[in-house]
Amino acid sequence: MTTLPDRPNTALVVLDMQQGVVAEAHQRDAVVSNIAALVDRAREAGAPVVWVQHSDDRLEKGSGPWEYVPELRRREQEPVVHKSFSDAFDDTDLEQVLAAAAVGRLLVAGAQTDECIRSTIHGAFVRGYDVTLVSDAHTTEDLTEWGAPPPEQVIAHTNLYWNTMAGPAGRLRWQRQRTSRSAAEPGWLNRTDPVTCGPPAAPGVPACAGSWPVRPLP
């Protein structure tokens, strides 16, 4: 559970699903579709949806690549947090946005798995948030040319690795959503969905199966 006092609510945080970030991302269309389904369900449940948008020397604010992918549309009342570092909490107003909505639990989705996703979920965890990484709603690009594992292995290892993290705030979890579930179904995050790692992602990274209960959105 969260260690943040008087912060009972859950928010969906969508990271950096921008055209220049995910243009070459692994299973880009499937991940975008899964995130769109999460956004619909959060809205139906009345939960905050927080959009995070990155800019730096390589991703100029206001440019085409900086814009969010067209399949994901932010509503006017939904906050957007602008960042320039991997951790969405660093030098931004994300903490203030979440505090104003009494949020102590986060569902995290977006890109890129091995950079801003990893940095932000760790940043949230050490700040006392209860964090769930949605396992089929984050992605990264292929960096094997520079010695990185293939993107599917990066994603699988991230899901497996963060599932073991524990601390005073509780645990970091990874959760696969059921994309076929209706957004209008009551308590859509109040049930336990199956989580399956599948074949070993790499030598020494075992297959696994299990489930995590996910708390209902307010």
pLDDT for position 162: 77
3-state SS, the chain, equals CCCCCCCCEEEEEEECCEHHHHCCECCHHHHHHHHHHHHHHHHHHCCCEEEEEECECCECCCCCCCCECCCCCCCCCCCEEEECCCCCCCCCCHHHHHHHCCEEEEEEEEECHHHHHHHHHHHHHHCCCEEEEEEEEEECECCHHHCCCCHHHHHHHHHHHHCCCEECCEEEEEECCCCCCCCCCCCCCCCEEEEECCCCCECCECCCEEEEECCCCC
pLDDT for position 78: 98
pLDDT of 25 higher than 90 = yes
- How many other C-beta atoms can be found within 10 angstroms of the C-beta atom of residue 145? 6
pLDDT for position 163: 75
pTM, to two decimals: 0.80
Distance CA(78)–CA(51), nearest Å, equals: 7
Cβ distance 72 to 79 under 8 Å? no
Residue type, 169: A
Mean predicted confidence (pLDDT) in 161-186 = 50
Mean predicted confidence (pLDDT) in 40-57 = 96
Q: What value, to the nearest 5°, has the Cα angle with vertex 159 and ends 46 and 115?
A: 85
Would you place residue 187 in the very low, low, confident or very high pLDDT band (cuts 50, 70, 90)? very low
Would you place residue 121 in the very low, low, confident or very high pLDDT band (cuts 50, 70, 90)? very high
pLDDT for position 212: 30
Per-residue CA distances from 71 to 17, 34, 116, 143 (Å): 10, 11, 21, 25
pLDDT for position 29: 97
Distance CA(38)–CA(18), nearest Å, equals: 17
pLDDT for position 166: 67
Mean predicted confidence (pLDDT) in 43-69 = 96
* Bigger pLDDT: 120 vs 208: 120
pLDDT of 189 higher than 70 = no
